[in-house]
């Protein structure tokens, strides 16, 4: 692992000037697995500045050494230090890199990890998380507009997490918008019993009759589908 870090640091220092011809004997290949290992080790050592340098270098390599694992490693460092702005920017970059250096499954995993932001600091104090859910909702909705559709699990986690906070901080509008987003972008999805209750609670708190009707309709269709399968 330490050799992977040394190799990556050396590679960055020796990065050739694009305006100059590189000498063949001075060039060597640094592949994705080495970068992955180096990022994990930097995370274990909490060397965020070095990890950021390595990440920026990897971003310049035309996806040849960058993948979702690299994004996740840096994200976990930001998450551990409660650096929300940097973490959200990284999530946006990962979504933009989907179909390139990042796979859909990895992007969805990163979205779930972002939603599961720790509600307590390392010293046990409660953190404000409403802004995280509000920001994540904006990021997810923007990704849908740009052509990337998060999975049901992502929407489910956002709805559940935001509803837990809403019960004490009365932020049901975030829950309502998350429910509406799921219904719009996953038209064939069926809410389970937990999501149904949350959706109806959000509809009641925000006086959204249409939301309640749509959730009940989806739940009814799900029950009918299950009954048909039993026949």
Check whether 60 has a pLDDT greater than 90: no
Distances (CA, A) of 206 to 170, 180, 209: 10, 12, 9
Determine the pLDDT at residue 197.
95
Q: CB of 163 within 8 A of CB of 202? A: yes
Question: Crossing angle of helices 172-185/209-230, nearest 10°?
Answer: 50
Determine the pLDDT at residue 44.
87
Q: 176: buried, middle or exposed (CB in 10 Å: 19+, 13-18, 0-12)?
A: buried
Domain ranges of the chain: 1-13+27-66
Structure tokens at 133: 């859910």
Per-residue pLDDT tens for 171-189?
A: 999 999 999 999 999 988 8
What span, in angstroms and rounded, lies between the C-alpha atoms of 69 and 3?
19
- With CA atoms as reference, report the closest residue to 32 among 2, 7, 3, 58: 58
Mean pLDDT of the chain: 84
Determine the pLDDT at residue 69.
86
The more confidently predicted of residues 207 and 10 is 207
Question: What is the pLDDT averaged over residues 59-87?
Answer: 85
Check whether 195 has a pLDDT greater than 70: yes
Most distant CA pair in the chain, distance? 72
Check whether 94 has a pLDDT greater than 60: yes
What span, in angstroms and rounded, lies between the C-alpha atoms of 113 and 111?
5
Torsion of CA 219, 149, 80, 128, to 10 degrees: -50
Q: 203: buried, middle or exposed (CB in 10 Å: 19+, 13-18, 0-12)?
A: buried
| Residue 27: pLDDT band with limits 50, 70, 90 | very low
Question: What is the pLDDT averaged over residues 52-78?
Answer: 83
What span, in angstroms and rounded, lies between the C-alpha atoms of 82 and 127?
9
The more confidently predicted of residues 75 and 62 is 75
Percent of the chain with pLDDT over 70: 83
Question: What is the pLDDT averaged over residues 34-53?
Answer: 87
Question: What is the pLDDT averaged over residues 29-55?
Answer: 83
Question: What is the pLDDT averaged over residues 129-151?
Answer: 93
What span, in angstroms and rounded, lies between the C-alpha atoms of 3 and 123?
34
Structure tokens at 97: 């890199």
């Amino acid at each position: 692992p330490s050799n992977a870090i040394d190799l990556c640091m050396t590679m960055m220092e020796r990065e050739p000037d694009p305006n100059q011809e590189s000498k063949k004997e001075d060039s060597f290949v640094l592949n994705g697995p080495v970068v992955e290992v180096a990022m994990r080790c930097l995370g274990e050592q909490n060397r965020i500045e070095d990890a950021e340098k390595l990440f920026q270098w990897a971003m310049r390599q035309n996806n040849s050494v960058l993948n979702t694992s690299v994004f996740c490693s840096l994200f976990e460092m930001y998450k551990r230090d409660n650096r929300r702005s940097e973490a959200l920017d990284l999530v946006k970059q990962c979504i933009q890199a989907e179909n390139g250096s990042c796979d859909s499954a990895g992007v969805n995993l990163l979205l779930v990890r972002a939603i599961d932001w720790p509600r307590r600091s390392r010293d046990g104090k409660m953190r404000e998380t409403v802004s995280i859910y509000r920001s994540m909702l904006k990021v997810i909705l923007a990704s849908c507009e740009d052509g990337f559709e998060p999975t049901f699990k992502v929407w489910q986690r956002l709805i559940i997490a935001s509803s837990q906070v809403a019960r004490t901080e009365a932020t049901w509008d975030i829950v309502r918008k998350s429910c509406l987003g799921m219904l719009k972008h996953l038209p064939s999805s069926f809410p389970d019993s937990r999501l149904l209750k949350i959706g109806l609670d959000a509809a009641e708190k925000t006086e959204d009759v249409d939301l309640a009707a749509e959730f009940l309709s989806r739940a009814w269709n799900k029950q009918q589908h299950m009954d048909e399968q039993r026949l």
